[in-house]
Structure 1
């Protein structure tokens, strides 16, 4: 994981291949998040709305 921060911006970059049976508990972030989904199948829920990710999808999540 790469992490860089200034008073105006936070930047991190990482790569993961999670266990297919895993899930991430409900949480919040103070900054926007961008995810680029490369391959596989994934369902995600943001603000109570569930969607299916397809390969080559860019997911943006606003700060909450």
Structure 2
């Protein structure tokens, strides 16, 4: 299984989030990832990747 990370900035609070994922080629998945700080929606996804929980990388100044 392929693994990776995605870094996203929350539009609501400005927090920098890191999200780890794995790819599962055997089936489709879907879900949402929420900001580690304010719990706003960061990512809606559907496909072969399985995303984990967002982790705080830093805050914007």
Q: Which has the larger radius of gyration?
A: 1
Q: TM-score, normalised by structure 1?
A: 0.30
State the structure with bigger RCO (CA 8 A, min sep 6), 1 or 2: 2
Q: TM-score, normalised by structure 2?
A: 0.31
